[in-house]
Structure 1
Amino acid sequence: MADLECCSYMLPLLTCCLFFIYTICYMITTSSRTSDDHLAPKSYPVIGCLVDFYRNRRRLLAWYTSLLAASPSQTIVVDRLGARRTVVTANPANVEHILKSNFVNYPKGKPFTDVLGDLLGGGIFNVDGDAWYAQRKLVSHEFSARVIRDTVGVALEREAAATLVPALDAASAGDGGMAVVDMQELLRQFAFNVVCRVALGGDGEMALAPLPLARLASAVIHDAVMVFVRRRRRNNNLASASGGGGLVARMSAAGYGDEAIRDAVVSFIMAGRDTTSSALTWFFWLMSRHRDVEAQILLDSSSSGATVLLHAALCETMRLYPPVAWDSKHAADDDTLPDGTRVRRGDRVTYFPYGMGRMESIWGTDAGEFRPARWMTSSSSPASEGVSPFKWPVFQGGPRTCLGKEMAFVQMKFVAAAVLRRFELRPVAAAEGSPPPEFVPLLTAHMAGGLKVTVRRRSQRRQNGTCGR
């Protein structure tokens, strides 16, 4: 009996001793890590970096950025209880390896597609392999120069005249010019309407009337989009891919079923709405902070130099406030990144555009400043020409390079020109020297609380010409 009592005391004591010895060995081992671990957050047995992660949970972007900036290779390895091992990098060579050189080893992966399956289904942003390739080939038509010119241009003109300009006009006249508008929400609605016209074909009337933005964001998103897919079939508007009708018509003619078309349309709409509206929200906020840049864009509005400056300002905006703060892949097999970091099969491998935009090793000592001139090589060249997509992976790079890049720039420049030439936006309660609004990195980033502004009309001399030109 006494022996049993002794054992009952000794077993917990022995367990504690073994854990203590393990902890000491672990700390000795980790104190002499190879460069493979790259200044990872402080990690402990079993729980990993959970303590540091919890402590920095409200400032993850700044925390990861500081860790990456301190790492000799701008790469860290994160182990945390309850999460898979994650490699996070802001190293352009690693990004090129992940997105291009060894592309086949870094698919989205099942962990990603499972999480977003309910929303995106089998749409292009949520599939890999042959399914991704087939959709990309089909969808690429929607981003051809002709479609952008004929379809997107028309949609932008109509929506600007129907919703964007009237809304800002009304705000400039309301409450003695003190009416407040949330530009973020207005830009989301505008972008949503435009992308519905492009994705669903026709003049967009079927898309716009029954499907307000609030419904798109609800749990019935799939049912809502399916209504339009089936309605188009009933109306016999899907005769052939060459006969018009947008993405829906093209996919139907290629033999895709209703659910596949629905998933593609949902992906198209979500990407088209959120990314451009996010970038434009931060652009208009930055213009309110840098009136000299805004004035130069307005001063040269009739010259090609203004187009280059506007493009540069948009690129600089997305360097500091990328619509997608980070993007993850999942390693199909073991690998070694160019900087020597070992990747294990199943690891989450994340590249970090938000942090990359703030790396002095990439952009110089003024990396934290808004300086569009860093993008300007001449008065006639596109601002982003010559800048590696792996240094500035806002539109990804390699085989998954964003098909909508040119469409996004067309839309952003159109809206920026249409608004800046007509209106002056003044953020509400933006005191001199106040901190920037909170950047919230969800699936697509947004500005916490929106961008609340008052609107003042500019003089008539700025308003000649068409909406965006």
Structure 2
Amino acid sequence: MQEFNTKSLRKFVETVVHTEVSQRLIPTLTSAAEHGTVLDFQDILQRFTFDNICNIAFGFDPAYLSPSLPQTKLDLAFENGIKCTTERGNALFPGVWKIKKLLNIGSEKRLKIAISEIRGFAVTIIKEKKQELREKESLDSVDLLSRLLNSDHLDENFVIDFVISFILAGRDTSSAALTWFFWVLSKNPEIESEILKEIKEKSEGPVYDEVKDMVYTHASLCESMRLYPPVALDAKEAVNDDVLPDGTVVKKGMKVSYFPYAMGRLEKLWGSDWAEFKPERWLQKEEENSKSSWRFVGRDSYTYPVFQAGPRICLGKEMAFLQMKSVVAGVLRRFKVVPAFEQGVQEPEYDSFLSKMKGRFPVKIEEKERDHLILGIEYCESRSTAPDYLSLFA
């Protein structure tokens, strides 16, 4: 959609993400480092992405990553809805949920309540946004919902469905990707050092320009998502009869599933070193004026369908990378994230249905040396957020 490709929306997203990093995520990690607290980093990252996605989608701040780590009604409704739909997928007898839905009992009753709460919230927000739009002179710094409502040809139900889908798509995927990224990074300190080196080199200039040029970090995120994709399994339904490139006949109405988790681990696609976490597989060395630098070399989206492919390519792909790289830069320039699993736990388990880390991701946060802190202060001064950030050192 056109709304995703405007410079003003990109700037709005940049502002929202940076504010959440500097005013909520960094203070949360600073407090944990000072008190030696073990955090569930998966929960922290999910709170971060939920705040971001609600601000970007609705212009509504649930403040889910506040110091008290509250449970908000809206997030609880999303969580219950996801759990209930997960039960459908995991059911031993798939048809049972239809009977429960008909009788309005159990998980189907809870799902109905969750959907009602989410849609009720969306309707209320839409009414408020319409009033705001009557008073606004410009759309330069507003959320996605306001931009959609400004398109007169869209009906209200479409807008509700679109924005709710947008939140569902962005709420868990980015946080899952970041959770696994920090886990993989903890096992590869040499790669963490390379990323930190790049962060230091790119810390001048606007936020978007900074993260856009972080090619090694970008490659590392792609490599992490190859091994631990935010969506492990997806399916499409054929609109018409078709024939796949290998000759497989697909009839109208048939469902075709693909498995990014398995595809990211195929030797046929990634070579004999597929099990290695290797950002360099996405990079190419370039020599210019006796200086060498990396150039990112992407794979086609059918080999690497993490953001889907073709006409269904993820509209929020650029937004997701901006968010993830902002988090990586904000966290690594100041902290070291150290996994704190119970003794005997060698590796966390990947939930192939939700793409999350099963259970939790316990970590200890260690603050880095003073030169990194100074770098962080200079970074925030360049973003005009120094007062909030510097108060952390008071």
RMSD: 2.8
Distance 1:216 1:332 in 2: 30
Distance 2:63 2:355 in 1: 25
Distance 1:267 1:381 in 2: 36
1:151 aligns with 2:25: no
1:198 alignment partner in structure 2: 56
1:104 alignment partner in structure 2: none
2:347 alignment partner in structure 1: 436
Distance 1:361 1:221, change over 3 A: same
Distance 2:144 2:63 in 1: 13
Deviation at 1:435, TM superposition (A): 4.4
Matching residue's letter, 1:250: R
Deviation at 1:206, TM superposition (A): 7.5
- Residue number among 236, 256, 266 corresponding to 1:349 in the alignment: 256
1:448 alignment partner in structure 2: 358
In the TM superposition, 1:399-410 aligns within 5 A as: 399-410=311-322
Deviation at 1:253, TM superposition (A): 2.3
Distance 1:188 1:398, change over 3 A: same
Matching residue's letter, 1:316: E
1:251 aligns with 2:251: no
Distance 1:462 1:311, change over 3 A: same
Distance 1:143 1:448, change over 3 A: farther
Contact 2:133 2:146 in 1 (8 A): no
Deviation at 1:453, TM superposition (A): 0.5
TM-score relative to the length of structure 1: 0.63
1:222 alignment partner in structure 2: 119
1:288 alignment partner in structure 2: 186
Uncovered stretches (5+) of structure 2, i.e. residues with no partner? 67-71, 81-113, 203-209, 287-292, 384-394
- Residue number among 299, 302, 307 corresponding to 1:395 in the alignment: 307
TM-score relative to the length of structure 2: 0.74
Distance 2:52 2:268 in 1: 39
Distance 1:466 1:239, change over 3 A: same
Distance 1:290 1:206 in 2: 35
Distance 1:453 1:151, change over 3 A: same
Distance 2:241 2:75 in 1: 43
Distance 1:337 1:300 in 2: 42
Contact 2:51 2:62 in 1 (8 A): no
Uncovered stretches (5+) of structure 1, i.e. residues with no partner? 1-136
1:329 alignment partner in structure 2: 236
Matching residue's letter, 2:350: F
Q: What do residues 275-325 of structure 1 show as CA deviations (whole Å, max 9, x unaligned)?
A: 111110000001111111112222343236992221111010010111111
Distance 2:141 2:369 in 1: 41
- Residue number among 308, 312, 320 corresponding to 2:219 in the alignment: 312
In the TM superposition, 1:10-25 aligns within 5 A as: none
Distance 2:279 2:162 in 1: 35
1:368 aligns with 2:275: yes
1:263 alignment partner in structure 2: 161
Distance 2:172 2:9 in 1: 21
Deviation at 1:163, TM superposition (A): 1.3
1:28 alignment partner in structure 2: none
Q: How many residues align?
A: 322
Deviation at 1:389, TM superposition (A): 1.2
Larger radius of gyration: 1
1:134 alignment partner in structure 2: none
Matching residue's letter, 1:377: Q
Contact 1:184 1:450 in 2 (8 A): yes
Distance 1:300 1:245 in 2: 32
Matching residue's letter, 2:349: E
In the TM superposition, 1:174-185 aligns within 5 A as: 174=35, 177=36, 179-185=37-43
Deviation at 1:408, TM superposition (A): 0.9
State the SS of the aligned residue for 2:120: helix
